[in-house]
C-alpha cells in the first residue's frame, strides 16, 4: 500500500511569503497526497494569493482566529493522509521534501516521526545557516526519544512528518503552549515509537522577519516552557519509566538556568524582582531556587561551555554553510538550491 503524505499550512498574515511556499510544494519531485491551507482570518493579501491556486490547493478556515499551536492542530486534524507534515506559511520546501520524508517512513515499522535537515533564511530568503541533524541518530527508539529532547526539541517541526495515529494519540501540539508547543509534541510522541532522521536539507525556515520579537513573545514563552518542564515532561517521563531519574532532574535545572541566561541579558537590576517572582514556582520544581535568588540579586548568567562534540558540530555546520553558498559543486548535495555538503 502506498504511503500517503499530506501537507498542512496554517496561514495568518504572511501573504507576501505564501506564494513561494505553495509554489515550492507544488514543484516537488514526488507530489504530496494533498495540500491544505487554513486561512486563519488573515487581513492581508493571503486570500488573493490562495485564489491564484484554486483547484491545486484545498483551502479551509477555522471558525475564529487561533494561536500558533491551535492553528497547526486545526489544519493537521483536517488532513486525510497516513502521515501529516506541517509547514509554515513563510517557509519553503526543497524539491526533495516529500520524497525524503516518505523514504524516512520506511526505515522502521514503528516509526512515528520522520525529520530532515533545514536551513535558516533571512526575511529575503537568503540562507543563513544549515542544520543536518548531525547530533541525532538515524533511528532513535524509546526511551532515548525522550532523553534527546529533555532540554529542547532536537528536530524541527517544519522539517518533519508525523504518523497520523501517533499524532492523534499524542493529542497534537499542546494547545495551551502558544509558543514552544513543538517541544511539548516531541515529548508526548517520545513513548509512542521511533524517531527517524534523514540527513538531507529539505526545508528553508525564514527567521528574523519581525525585529523586537524576542521581547514581544517572552512572557508567553516563559509560561509555555514552565508548563512543559513542570507538567508535560513529567507525564512523558512517567510513560517512559524515567520519573525520579537524576537525568530528568538535571534536565529541568538546565532548562531553567538556560532561561536565566537569556533573562539576565534582557532585564536590568531594577526589573528583576518582578520577573523573579513570576518564576518562583518553576524554580522550585527545577530545584533552582538558589539560582533564581542570584538572578534577583543581579548575577549575569552565561551559557555553559560547549562540549567538544557540540563545538565540532557547530564548526562543521559553518563549513557546510560556506561551501553550500560559495557555488562549489564538487561532491555537494542537499543544501540550498540543490547545494550543500553531506556531513
Q: How many residues does the chain have?
A: 343
- Give residue 323's pLDDT: 52
Residues paired with residue 35 on neighbouring β-strands, in sequence order: 7
Closest among 24, 28, 36 to 206, alpha carbons compared: 24
CB 206 within 8 A of CB 195: no
Domain 5-206 has CATH 3.90.550.10: yes
Q: Is the pLDDT confidence value at 338 over 60?
A: no
As a whole number, the mean pLDDT across the chain is 87
Q: Is the pLDDT confidence value at 46 over 90?
A: yes
Tell me the per-residue pLDDT of 289-309, one tens digit each, with 9 for 90 and over. 999 999 999 999 888 765 544
If one compares 215 and 140, the residue with the highest pLDDT of the two is 140
Tell me the per-residue pLDDT of 155-164, one tens digit each, with 9 for 90 and over. 999 999 999 9
User: How is the chain split into domains, by residue range?
Assistant: 5-206, 213-296
For residue 333, what is its C-alpha cell? 548535495
- Give residue 340's pLDDT: 30
| pLDDT > 70: percent of the chain | 86
Closest among 27, 194, 195, 10 to 98, alpha carbons compared: 27
- Give residue 313's pLDDT: 52
- Give residue 127's pLDDT: 82
DSSP 6-52: EEEEEESS-HHHHHHHHHHHHT-SS--SEEEEEE-S--STHHHHHHT
- Give residue 208's pLDDT: 64
Flag the least confident range among 137-151, 190-204, 256-270, 313-327. 313-327
Predicted TM-score (pTM) of this structure: 0.84
Mean pLDDT calculated for residue range 154-173: 96
- Give residue 315's pLDDT: 53
Dihedral of CA atoms 65, 67, 70, 75 in degrees, nearest 10, equals: 60
Residues paired with residue 113 on neighbouring β-strands, in sequence order: 162, 195
Distance CA 271, CA 206 (A): 32
- Give residue 209's pLDDT: 54
If one compares 31 and 310, the residue with the highest pLDDT of the two is 31
Amino acid at each position: 500500500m502506498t504511503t500517503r503524505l499530506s501537507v498542512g499550512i496554517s496561514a495568518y498574515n504572511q501573504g507576501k511569503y505564501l506564494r513561494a511556499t505553495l509554489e515550492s510544494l507544488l514543484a516537488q519531485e514526488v507530489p504530496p497526497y494533498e495540500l491544505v491551507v487554513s486561512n486563519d482570518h488573515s487581513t492581508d493579501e493571503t486570500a488573493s494569493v490562495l485564489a491564484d491556486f484554486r483547484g491545486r490547493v484545498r483551502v479551509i478556515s477555522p471558525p475564529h482566529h487561533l494561536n500558533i499551536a491551535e492553528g497547526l492542530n486545526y489544519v493537521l486534524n483536517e488532513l486525510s493522509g497516513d502521515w501529516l507534515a506541517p509547514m509554515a506559511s513563510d517557509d519553503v520546501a526543497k524539491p526533495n521534501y516529500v520524497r525524503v520524508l516518505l523514504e524516512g517512513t520506511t526505515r522502521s515499522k514503528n516509526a512515528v516521526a520522520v525529520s530532515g535537515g533545514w536551513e535558516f533564511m533571512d526575511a529575503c530568503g537568503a540562507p543563513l545557516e544549515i542544520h543536518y541533524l548531525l547530533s541525532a541518530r538515524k533511528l532513535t527508539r524509546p526511551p532515548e526519544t525522550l532523553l534527546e529532547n529533555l532540554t529542547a526539541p532536537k528536530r524541527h517541526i517544519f522539517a518533519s512528518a508525523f504518523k497520523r495515529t501517533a499524532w492523534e494519540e499524542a493529542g497534537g501540539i499542546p494547545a495551551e503552549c502558544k509558543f514552544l508547543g513543538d517541544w511539548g509534541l516531541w515529548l508526548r510522541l517520545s513513548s509512542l515509537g521511533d524517531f527517524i532522521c534523514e540527513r538531507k536539507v529539505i526545508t528553508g525556515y525564514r527567521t528574523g522577519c519581525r525585529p523586537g520579537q524576542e521581547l514581544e513573545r517572552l512572557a508567553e514563552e516563559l509560561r509555555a516552557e514552565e508548563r512543559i518542564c513542570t507538567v508535560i515532561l513529567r507525564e512523558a517521563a512517567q510513560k517512559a519509566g524515567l520519573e525520579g531519574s537524576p537525568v530528568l532532574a538535571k534536565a529541568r535545572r538546565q532548562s531553567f538556568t538556560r532561561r536565566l541566561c537569556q533573562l539576565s541579558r534582557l532585564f536590568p537590576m531594577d526589573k528583576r524582582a518582578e520577573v523573579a517572582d513570576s518564576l518562583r514556582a518553576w524554580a522550585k520544581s527545577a530545584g533552582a531556587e538558589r539560582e533564581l535568588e542570584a538572578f534577583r540579586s543581579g548575577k549575569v548568567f552565561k551559557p555553559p561551555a560547549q562540549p567538544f562534540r557540540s563545538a565540532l558540530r557547530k564548526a562543521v555546520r559553518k563549513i557546510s554553510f560556506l561551501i553550500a553558498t560559495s557555488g562549489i559543486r564538487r561532491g555537494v548535495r542537499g543544501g540550498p538550491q540543490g547545494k550543500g555538503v553531506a556531513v
